Structure 1
Amino acid sequence: MNGRRTAPPLVTVLAVLLYIGGALLVASALLGLGVHLLVSLGQLVYGALYLGLARALQLGRYWARIVLFVLCALGLVLAAGWVVAGNVRGGITQALWPVVYLVLLVQPSVRAWYTEPRVSG
């Protein structure tokens, strides 16, 4: 045994969702590099940050959980802006992923993953 622990299933689900999102952003950026360079580079950086955040969450980094909470809050504020602007459907769509992430983040097994001491391996 090497002393490493594996992430709880819900943390893995959270990380996989972020890995998928990051991979889609990177793929979109690479496919669109010839069209709008600045937009593609922005997507590439954003996708890479998603992938890094997913890995940090999977490893149990407390700061990554806080970052995801902040990003979810910002996403919900943007969703509320859509609703206030009269686009209720857009607001609901915008709020879906932040709500999913928040529901996963507050589960007891997920909270415990970020409060238990880590064994360096």
Structure 2
Amino acid sequence: MVRLRRLWFNTAMAQRPTAPPPPVTVLAILLYVGGGLVIVYALIGMGSSAGAVTSMLPAWGQALYGALYVGLARALQLGLRWARLVALALCWVGLAVATVYLFARGPQAAVAQAVWPATYLVLLTRSGVREWFAPNPTPTGERQPGE
């Protein structure tokens, strides 16, 4: 158990600054708020009919889905590289769902479905964010040997 715990928390690189760049903080806040709202709506029994995934899940599934987003937000704050890859994959899935919505429900539904994945994708692909999640991040302005 201790070894697994070390692996989980030590995947963040030691050379990384202690605070994440502002886009990562913004992304984490958005994920905390979104996941928290999904959990609250599931617990009070209202459910969420806005999202493509949450509308198909029962209340307990929606709560787990919200918890996934809260956990992902925390992993992004810690600088875990797998979390960025998972978030990028979820963004592309969300954009694919928006494309399906374009043909099935029209442009208004497609845009509504694509807003958040596109926002997250823009935040995740900023150069400072990519550098921060890199295997060997370099301080800003310095170059790696051989570049």
Deviation of the 1:52 alpha carbon? 0.2
Q: Who is 1:77 aligned against?
A: 96
TM-score by length of structure 2 reads 0.71
Aligned counterparts of 1:9 and 1:116: Cα–Cα separation in 2: 19
Pairing 1:11–2:24 present? yes
Structure 1 runs of 4+ aligned residues shifted over 2 Å read none
Residues 5-37 of structure 1 show CA distances to partners (whole Å, capped at 9, x for unaligned) of 01111110000000000100110111008xxxx
Query: Number of residues paired by the alignment?
Result: 112
Deviation of the 1:58 alpha carbon? 0.7
Pairing 1:99–2:118 present? yes
| Higher normalized helix content (fraction of residues) | 1
Structure with the greater relative contact order (CA < 8 A, sep ≥ 6): 1 or 2? 1
Aligned counterparts of 2:105 and 2:91: Cα–Cα separation in 1: 21
Q: Which structure has the greater CA radius of gyration?
A: 2
Deviation of the 1:86 alpha carbon? 4.4
Pairing 1:49–2:68 present? yes
State how 1:23-38 maps to structure 2 within 5 Å: 23-32=36-45
TM-score by length of structure 1 reads 0.86
The equivalent position to 1:20 in structure 2, one of 17, 33, 36, is 33
Aligned counterparts of 2:105 and 2:36: Cα–Cα separation in 1: 32
Residues 81-115 of structure 1 show CA distances to partners (whole Å, capped at 9, x for unaligned) of 01112411000110000000000001111111101
Aligned counterparts of 1:12 and 1:76: Cα–Cα separation in 2: 22
Identity %: 49
Gapped runs of 5+ residues in structure 1? none
Residues 40-75 of structure 1 show CA distances to partners (whole Å, capped at 9, x for unaligned) of 101110011000000000111110001011111111
Q: Matched residue of 2:58: which SS?
A: helix
Gapped runs of 5+ residues in structure 2? 1-14, 47-56, 138-147
Q: Who is 2:53 aligned against?
A: none
Which AA in structure 2 matches 1:101?
Answer: Y
Aligned counterparts of 1:22 and 1:117: Cα–Cα separation in 2: 30
Q: Matched residue of 2:102: which SS?
A: helix
